[in-house]
Structure 1
């Protein structure tokens, strides 16, 4: 009986418990450092099964990649001791690139040469893949969304890259082209959305099989990947994001942070007096206790929200980046050296294999 009990997890050594049940929940930078603890940890962290397990266990936002027009990418960590990448400027890629979208540890970048090639990469491991040339001309500012959801069933990342682009055949129309890593090719959807004007690059998010972009002329354009149908949602929105598996919109004005969740995507098909709302406000935070040097402008100044997903919201004023943590309710300055034209991408420090 005693021999049998020794095989139970309660009788495992502490180092074995940490190795088996704690390491997969740590970020990539910490894990690379922990390879030096001992030979067993190094072998454990290096196995494909562990890499797969970590990419499914660790989901917390680790920091932000920043992209400016004239500079290579850079990275700002939420905790430099725990989160980081070996080459923030992405020089391991075969050419200079601009980041276009990110998802669960993967980045989609576009080359700056004439070819304008797309690359999918994991900046933590320096793995990358060049995608085949799209069928359509996506223009100089493609509205891209990388769709990747880690799955226990897939040891290698199974992802899609969705691009909304202006139609060459129909005025004021938007078309959609989709790359599938499973199929290894691009495909243009048969759906067109008329009256979309231009979509705002770098504004897209993916939630439960639906991709959303902000429109330049107001509101949101959505594309259902399953049904391959598009439609418009209305609302005054600064930033789209995801919280608890739902689409959220975030605005900051009058010294107040406003977060709303999409409650009904079909209000445009209902009667005028139905009373059904598209968005429901779930959080209103009055920033009365901001630092005196926060620089967040006059009371009526509408501030740019760069990022808002999970528990983190990121705002910029001048060259300063400010975070608000919805869980801890803490507000702080993340950086005072951000470029004025910076585009921000949330990043998860994952070991995911491409």
Structure 2
């Protein structure tokens, strides 16, 4: 598609020489990836006007919410960008600006959230449009132990303009508490600031899963001498209530194992457990029950040995990526990222990463505005 559009000088989108109505044309164009749409701006005045129309920008973000790339990340490093969608793309100048400014702590709906190195301010960026908006106040001083989750709010017509941002930061290792703050983008205020007990273990703050008003985090590695079972934390943003969900008894997690969570077909919470001793990634679905706590059901397993890996893979990150009718398991081995299509069994190498044992922050290539007080980046 991208190559076809590059070679098209005139486009007849109507019949019998009659152009399509502007609203229908805008609806059609809203399905294009951001990179492809920008290449059409020189075609006509209508396309250029759409590039600044907030309803069109939000519609495009609604239709292009699949993962198009990843930011490799650990606590002291961000980048380089790993692109997995050939029709997507982010200008190199915007990426350099983000990495220079601070640490990427999360991304959702095409927006990238960055903690600045100099003053600890939290800013939201749209790198493909080259825009940003600063949030009203720094959320936490514990910048190296923090992450965000974003819940977009439906405004009634399928367009999600406003959002709630859950900023979770871990106090020093001697404390059991996390500081949890909630930001309302429409009111531009932090509506909650509480200390919550999310258990003794650290959480994968970079990989939250959002389902309606509930945010889930999986626990990360415990220390070898600790005898604490791994678990998943559920936080209900609306009720401000937390729940600890134990992992299935059959999924015994050793210190060297890796776990992650994701949404399976947009309906069920999925636990991914990489077992180091067997080289197998097991997938478990969380099932609700009518008269008791939720339970886990084994759904699938992937053997990395059968996929062709010849030595014990050091897997540091596992996550799910859904595109159309396909669900892929994304995982990292050392400095490489891979994708495994669960339906057809195809393994792909996504790219090389800039650091060993990285975590991956997913990114979607959209035109979503950063906020009411959006401004252009000064990348030079």
TM-score, structure 2 normalization: 0.74
Residue 87, structure 1, aligned to residue 92, structure 2: yes
> C-alpha deviations, 1:166-195, integer Å up to 9, x for none?
469x95233421111122122435573263
Shift of 1:351: 0.7
Among 253, 258, 281, the residue aligned to 1:257 = 281
Number of the residue aligned with 1:144: 148
Which residue does the alignment assign to 2:261?
240
1:67 to 55, 70, 73: 73
Q: Which residue of 1 aligns with 2:350?
A: 334
1:5 alignment counterpart: none
The structure-2 alpha-carbon separation of the partners of 1:284 and 1:85, relative to structure 1 and needing over 3 Å to count, comes to: same
> What is the Cα deviation at residue 222 of structure 1?
1.5
Q: Which residue of 1 aligns with 2:331?
A: 315
Number of residues paired by the alignment? 331
Choose 69-78 or 341-350, whichever is displaced more: 69-78
Shift, 1:348, TM fit: 1.0
Query: Quick one: distance in 1 between partners of 2:339 and 2:270?
Result: 17
Conserved in 1, the CA contact under 8 Å of 2:216 and 2:235? yes
In structure 2, the CA distance between the partners of 1:249 and 1:86, relative to structure 1 (3 Å rule), is: same
Specify whether residues 72 and 338 from structure 1 end up closer, same or farther in structure 2 by C-alpha distance, changes over 3 A only.
Answer: closer
1:44, distance to aligned residue in structure 2 (A) = 4.3
**Unaligned stretches of 5+ residues in structure 2:** 1-12, 223-229, 248-252, 371-380
SS in 1 for 2:340: strand
The corresponding residue for 2:299 is 282
Q: Give the Å deviation of 1:29.
A: 0.7
Distance 1:229 1:72, change over 3 A: closer
- Native 8 Å contact 1:191 1:230 kept in 2: no
Are the counterparts in 1 of residues 32 and 60 from structure 2 also a CA contact under 8 Å? yes
- For residue 163 of structure 1, the aligned residue among 153, 160, 167 is 167
Pairwise mapping of residues 108-147 of structure 1 onto structure 2 (< 5 A)? 108-113=113-118, 115-134=119-138, 137-138=141-142, 140-147=144-151
When residues 190 and 55 of structure 1 are mapped into structure 2, their CA distance, relative to the original with a 3 A threshold, is same
TM-score normalized by the length of structure 1: 0.79
Alpha-carbon shift at residue 198 of structure 1 (Å): 3.1
Q: Aligned equivalents of 1:265 and 1:215: distance in 2?
A: 23
Shift, 1:333, TM fit:
0.8
Q: 1:231 aligns with which of 217, 230, 243?
A: 243
Q: 1:12 to 1:184 in 2, by over 3 A?
A: farther
Question: Does the 8 Å contact 1:174/1:196 carry over to 2?
Answer: no
Deviations 1:300-339 (A, max 9, x none): x673334324223221112221111335432111113442
Let me know the Cα RMSD of the aligned residues.
3.5
- Is contact 2:33-2:88 (8 Å) kept? yes
The match for 2:186 is 182
Taking a change above 3 Å as real, the CA distance of residues 302 and 318 of structure 1, as seen in their structure-2 partners, is closer
| Contiguous gaps of at least 5 residues in structure 1 | 1-8, 271-275
Which digits, 9 at most, give the CA deviation of each residue in 1:25-56, with x for residues without a partner?
A: 12101111122344444444553332222122
In the alignment, the residues of structure 2 paired with residue 94 and residue 70 of structure 1 have an alpha-carbon distance, to the nearest angstrom, of: 11
Contact 1:238 1:305 survives alignment (8 Å): yes
**Would the aligned equivalents of 1:159 and 1:180 in 2 still touch at CA under 8 Å?**
yes
- Quick one: distance in 1 between partners of 2:330 and 2:99? 31
